[in-house]
Chain A
Amino acid sequence: MGRIIGIDLGTTYSLVAYTEPETGRPRCLPDEEGRTLVPSVVSLEESGAVVVGWPARERLLRQPERTVYSVKRLMGRGRADVADELKLFPFRVAPGSESVIQIDLGGKVFTPPEVSAFVLRELKRRAEKFFGEEVTRAVITVPAYFNDAQRQATKDAGRIAGLEVERLVNEPTAASLAYGLDKHQRALIAVYDFGGGTFDISILRLEEGLFKVQSTNGDTHLGGDDIDNLLLEKVRAEIRTRFQVEVADDADRYQVLREAVIAAKHELSEKEHAPLRFALDGPSASFPSTPLRAGRASRGEYVRELTRAEFESWIAPIIERTLAPCRMALKDAGVKPEQIDEVVLVGGSTRIPLVRRRVQELFGRQPHTELNPDEVVALGAALQARILEGGLKDMLLLDVTPLSLGIETMGGAVAKIIPRNATIPASAAEMFTTYADKQTGVEIHVVQGERELVRDCRSLARFTLRVPPQPAGLPRVEVKFLIDANGILSVTARDLRTGEERSVEVKPSYGLTDDEVESMILESIEHAEADFAAVQLLGARNEAETILRATARALTEEQARELSGDERRQIESARAALEAALRTDDYKLIRQRLDELNQATHHLAELLMDTAVQTALKGKRADEVKL
């Protein structure tokens, strides 16, 4: 059946991991540079090629209008849901996005599952490179508080990427698996998972390898992103007052400012102060690796020192918003904070000291932080993947559904049929009949949520149950609702008079139909070739630009005078040839010209003892060279 990989498809970063069958130990797969994280950023080149991960993140500064991040926030949602997000994120939503959002990326339109599929395919490739064989099966993690539509959208993303999603696992639950808590102990565990875009709290009971989720709660729109947006807002306002400049008007500069506040945020997790410098007129966006140089600035530079105390006073309300779900989860689990034996922190935002303090205060104990909070979810996904492969027979996860499932009754009220925190798989059967003679259809509206009125809950699906025309009240159709181990709903109907059973075609209120997903898979296959070329092109370009700059600088050095006129002419012509090649999209040509320039500068490199330049000319990776 082939191996199953574990994937953490995060708001900010994604990772892929696997479990070594021999040792039962999970590990994340790194790229050539040793990085396990893949930024969940996708950029569309003018050529139509798709760039993912670190190079796409770089493009966020250069080509913000062709680049998209934090798309997880849009999964399984409609236009009306995301009105607030759209004010804060540079998502360009195309018209006609009522039930599935369409994101405009450089003139082309993509749904959130398609964008996520690009990230998944990058992870799939990484795994394939590692194993040297095709990988087609994955366990993907989702926030525990994701509703049915958000889960379905994640599953669709997998299919589009060519991955059979063998299981969706809740992120906090996955983390608890990975945490290496002694499987034989009996313990009550709280997992506090505060990531880039989502917050989850889960209370689990661990008994001899059985991980039983007691309750879960959270907010699928609360995360590090919100802290970034808040900081950005504060700083933007200060700049406006001090310089009468609206940074947000310049998309490029605004992205640079975002990066700056994020860097300050990270620094404040380690230190008491962080400097914040931002040149109002920055360098041209086409040189992303150039640090901000204020030399040419005409409007000045915003300089400020941010203290941790100030930072904490700003973000305290956001951290506070995580505590209500914690209390809810404790209440639903029927436990008091002091009964919790272990507290586990997951997600990059739990590096913030204020978060750690508040969690410690709430549960009255020191939380676990031993594992890298960025990797722990992916490691758990890999363990679950191994369980599904038939290994790790001494571990089993029993998870729950985060939201109650209900159906609409008379007057827009909701009849709950499966309560929240019910262990999944879970099911419920309901009997339906007709109100009028010869009625041939019964409308059924399925919702998710805790409120009593349909309009306050999340619409999952509407469908019409076909019934034979009979006197009112005579037909008896039993409809069975099943939430599977992924937390995804399916519906079947059985006519109790005829015994006839059939599956019910459910049109999701927010999501893609099977046919739509099918057509996206085909499209992405056509794209695959172009994507490969795009990544190659990007690498070659970056390297070429580095070599060109290094060469230009080397030629001004003292030692360069020792070059013969002939050698100099050869270098100049190789430079010109490479520059010409750079104006095309042909990565093979760029590579060829790059090699030629490398050869032409061979003697020059020998002449120079400047090690940095020498390594650059010998074709080391571009980003290792300091210019």
Chain B
Amino acid sequence: MKKSGAGVLLACWECRGALAGVPPAANHFCDQCGKVQPLGGEADYFSFFRLPRRLGLDPAQLEKQFHDLSWKLHPDRFHQAGDYERSLSLERTAVLNDAYRTLRDPVSRVEYLLRLEGVRKDGEVKQQAPADLLEEVFELNEYLEELRAAKSAGGDARALDDLRHRLEKTRAAFQEKLDAVLAELTAQFSAWDERGDRAALVRLSEILNRHSYIRNLVRNVTEELES
């Protein structure tokens, strides 16, 4: 396990029994009395699920863990418990849901890992058009402008349809690029997972920028087409 903080020794708030071997985030319950345990500071989503900090993971396995923990931790299961344990259940279930939401999606999983590893800061996303896409992006923006102008001018239906059609085609082309970027992203996983290669993290960060740029582009076009 990478940087798991193994060896932390804590005691259960209820029975004072020792909690050991895993970071506090993964100590969901006391082995002896079964009470829910506090998170103990910042919870790292990987260690919450007792997973190593790796990008490749089995989605079915993660989902199964999510279900098992939901059954055990959800506030509904502690409605008759004392106030303190209820608050722990709420806190832990919120993190369970946040962690599952973050880790199940490859893009947010990479983003999260990059932040954990200090490669990216919060909310730091470059919104520059990637150089090799400049031409296509320029064309796309032109179409978008034309469509907006035509819409507000209430232009004739045929011209509008034609514009929509062209935009539709460009969107499909960008969607393909988006899929390709996603494949590129996952192709980098092993470099980090197997060798702990930090240079891979920097490459992942760049691919992520490219991905979020194209994703926004596709989203904008979709919005314009559907409105």
Q: Is the CB of B122 within 8 A of A1?
A: no
A422 to B80, CA, bound (A): 26
In the complex, chain B residues 75-100 whose Cβ is within 8 Å of any chain A Cβ: 75-77, 79-80, 90, 93-95, 97-98, 100
Given A389-B80, A431-B122, A484-B90: A425 touches B70 (CB 8 Å cut-off): no
Contact B94 A425 (CB under 8 A): yes
Q: Contacts of B97 on A, CB cut-off 8 Å?
A: 422-426
Asked if B90 contacts A485 (CB within 8 A), the reply is yes
Is there a chain A Cβ closer than 8 Å to B101's Cβ?
Answer: yes
Is A415 positioned at the interface, with any CB of B under 8 Å from its CB?
yes
* Nearest CB in chain A to that of B92: its residue: A425
Are A390 and B95 within 8 A (Cβ)?
no
Q: Which residues of B contact A210 (CB under 8 A)?
A: 67, 70-71
B76 in contact with A423 (CB, 8 Å): no
Cβ-defined contact, B98 with A398, below 8 A: no
Q: A159–B97 Cα gap in the complex (Å)?
A: 29
List residues of chain B with CB within 8 A of the CB of A427: 94-95, 98
Give the complex CA separation of A349 and B70 in angstroms: 35
Q: Which residues of B contact A431 (CB under 8 A)?
A: 122
The answer to the question of A312 belonging to the interface, with a C-beta cut-off of 8 Å to chain B, is no
Q: How far is the CA of A483 from the CA of B101 in the complex (A)?
A: 15
Q: With A and B bound together, what is the CA distance between A525 and B94 in angstroms? A: 37
Is the CB of B118 closer than 8 A to any CB of chain A? Answer: no
A-chain residues with CB within 8 Å of residue B177 when the two chains form the complex: none
Which residues from A are CB-within-8-Å of B79?
Answer: 166, 387-390
Contact present for A396 and B75 (CB under 8 Å): no
A-B contact count (CB 8 A): 57
In the assembled complex, the Cα of A388 lies from the Cα of B97 at a distance in Å of: 20
Interface pair A396/B80, CB less than 8 Å apart: no
Q: Which of B71, B98, B101 contacts A396 (CB 8 A)?
A: B71
Q: In terms of DSSP, what is the predominant structure of the interface of chain A?
A: strand
List chain B residues, Cβ under 8 A from A16. Answer: none
Residues of chain A within 8 A of B100, CB atoms compared: 423
Q: How far is the CB of B211 from chain A (nearest CB, A)?
A: 17
Query: CB-CB < 8 A to A517: which residues of B?
Result: none
- Say if the beta carbon of A482 comes within 8 Å of chain B: yes
User: Which A residues from 374 to 418 make CB contacts under 8 A with B?
Assistant: 387-390, 396-398, 415
Q: Which residue of B is nearest A424, CB measured? A: B97
* A207 located at the interface, meaning its Cβ lies under 8 Å from any Cβ of chain B in the complex: yes
A428 at interface, CB cutoff 8 A? yes
| B98 cross-chain contacts in A, Cβ below 8 A | 422, 426-428
Give the most central of B67, B75, B76, B101: most A CB within 10 Å.
Answer: B76
CA distance A482 to B89 in the complex (A): 13
Distance in Å from the Cβ of B101 to the closest Cβ of chain A?
Answer: 6
Contact A1 B76 (CB under 8 A): no
Which residues from A are CB-within-8-Å of B77? 396
B67 closest partner in A (C-beta): A210
Residue contact B123 to A388, C-beta cutoff 8 Å: no
Taking the complex as formed, is B74 at the interface, i.e. its CB lies under 8 A from any CB of chain A? yes
Q: Which residue of B lies closest to A482 (CB)?
A: B94
CB pair B95 A388 closer than 8 Å: no
Instruction: Tell me the bound Cα distance from A484 to B78 in angstroms.
Output: 14
- Residues on B with C-beta less than 8 A from A387 are 76, 79
B70 touches A398 (CB 8 A): yes
Contacts of A396 in B (CB 8 A): 70-71, 74, 76-77
Q: Which residue of B lies closest to A388 (CB)?
A: B79
Q: Which residues of A contact B75 (CB under 8 A)?
A: 425, 484-485
Cα–Cα, bound, A366→B80 (Å): 40
CB atoms of B101 and A422 under 8 A apart = yes
Query: Which residue from chain B places its CB closest to the CB of A390 in the assembled complex?
Result: B80
Tell me the nearest residue of chain B to A481, going by C-beta: B94
**Contact residues in B for A482 (Cβ distance below 8 Å):** 90, 94
Q: Which residues of A contact B93 (CB under 8 A)?
A: 425, 485
A residues in contact with B80, CB < 8 Å: 1, 388-390
In the complex, residue of chain A having the shortest beta-carbon distance to the beta carbon of B90: A425
Given A425-B93, A485-B75, A485-B76, the answer on whether A415 and B101 have CB atoms closer than 8 Å is no
**Cβ 8 A contact of B76, one of A207, A397, A419, A426:** A397
Taking CB atoms, residues of chain B closer than 8 Å to A424 are 97
In the complex, which residues 44-80 of chain B have their Cβ closer than 8 Å to any Cβ of chain A? 67, 70-71, 74-77, 79-80
Q: How far is the CA of A504 from the CA of B90 in the complex (A)?
A: 18
Taking the nearest CB of chain B, how far is it from the CB of A335, in angstroms? 16
Which A residues between 195 and 239 are near B, CB-CB below 8 angstroms?
207, 210
Which residues of chain B from 107 to 159 have any CB-CB distance to chain A below 8 Å in the complex? Answer: 122-123
Q: List residues of chain A with CB under 8 Å of any chain B CB.
A: 1, 166-167, 207, 210, 387-390, 396-398, 415, 419, 422-428, 431, 482-485
* A/B interface sample: 19 pairs, CB < 8 A: A210-B67, A387-B76, A387-B79, A388-B79, A389-B79, A390-B79, A390-B80, A396-B70, A397-B76, A419-B101, A422-B98, A423-B101, A425-B97, A426-B97, A426-B98, A482-B94, A484-B90, A485-B74, A485-B93
Top 7 A-B pairs, shortest CB-CB distance:
A425-B94, A427-B94, A388-B79, A423-B97, A485-B75, A390-B80, A425-B93
